Chain A
Amino acid sequence: MWTAWMIAVRFLRDGRGQTILILFGITIGVAVIVFVTALISGLQANIIARTLGTQAHITLHAPDEVNHIAPAGDITRLTLEDPRPQRLRSINNWQHMRDLLDTDPMLDAVSPLVSGPAFAQRGNARRSVALIGMDPERYLRVIPVDRDMVAGRFQPAADKVVIGHRLATELGLRPGDRLRIDAGNGRTATVDISGIFELGVRELDERYVYMDLKQVQTLIDLPGGVTTIDLTVADIFDADAIAARIGGLTGLKSESWMETNAQLMNALAAQRLSTRMISFFVAVSVAFGIASVLSVSVVQRTRQIGILRAMGAGQRQMLLVFVLQGALLGMIGAITGSICGVLLIASFDTFGPGLFEVSVTPGLIAATMVLATTVGALAASQPARRAARLDPVTAIRNG
Chain B
Amino acid sequence: MAEAGDFNSADEVLRLEGIGKSYNLGLPTEAEVLHGIDLALTRGDFAALVGPSGSGKSTLLNLIGLLDRPTRGRIQLLGEPTAEMSDAELTARRATTIGFVFQFHHLIPAFTALENVLMPHMLRRGRPNPKASAWARQLLTDVGLAAQIDRYPDQLSGGQQQRVAIARALAARPALLLADEPTGNLDTVTADGVFELLRRFNRTFGCAVLVVTHDPRLSARCDRVIELVDGRIVRDERHAAADN
Contact = CB atoms under 8 A, between A and B. Distances in A.
A393 B62 contact: yes
Contacts of B123: 3, 308, 311-314, 317
Contacts of A11: 110
B126 A396 contact: no
Contacts of A99: none
For the residues of A in contact with B, the DSSP-based class is helix
Give the size range of A's interface with the partner: 20 to 34
B180 to A, nearest CB: 9
A10 B111 contact: yes
Contacts of B96: 312
Contacts of B106: 303-304, 307, 396
Contacts of A392: 67
Interface string A11-28: 101100000000000000
A1 interface: yes
A315 interface: yes
Nearest to B102: A396
A308 B67 contact: no
B65 interface: yes
A393 B87 contact: no
A309 B91 CA distance: 8
Given A315-B87, A392-B67, A10 B110 contact: yes
Nearest to B95: A312
Nearest to B59: A393
Contacts of A396: 67, 102, 106
Nearest to B126: A2
Nearest to B68: A393
Nearest to A395: B67
B120 to A, nearest CB: 5
A304 B123 CA distance: 14
Interface in A301-336: 303-304, 307-315, 317
A6 interface: yes
Contacts of A7: 110
Contacts of A308: 108, 119, 123
Given A11-B110, A14-B110, A396-B102, A312 B67 contact: no
A13 B110 contact: yes
B100 A310 contact: yes
B108 A312 contact: no
Contact of B94 (A2, A13, A310): A310
B235 interface: no
A3 B122 contact: yes
30 contacts: A3-B123, A3-B126, A10-B108, A10-B110, A11-B110, A13-B110, A14-B109, A14-B110, A304-B108, A308-B108, A308-B123, A309-B91, A310-B65, A310-B100, A311-B95, A311-B119, A311-B120, A311-B123, A312-B92, A312-B96, A312-B123, A313-B123, A315-B91, A317-B123, A392-B67, A393-B62, A393-B67, A396-B67, A396-B102, A396-B106
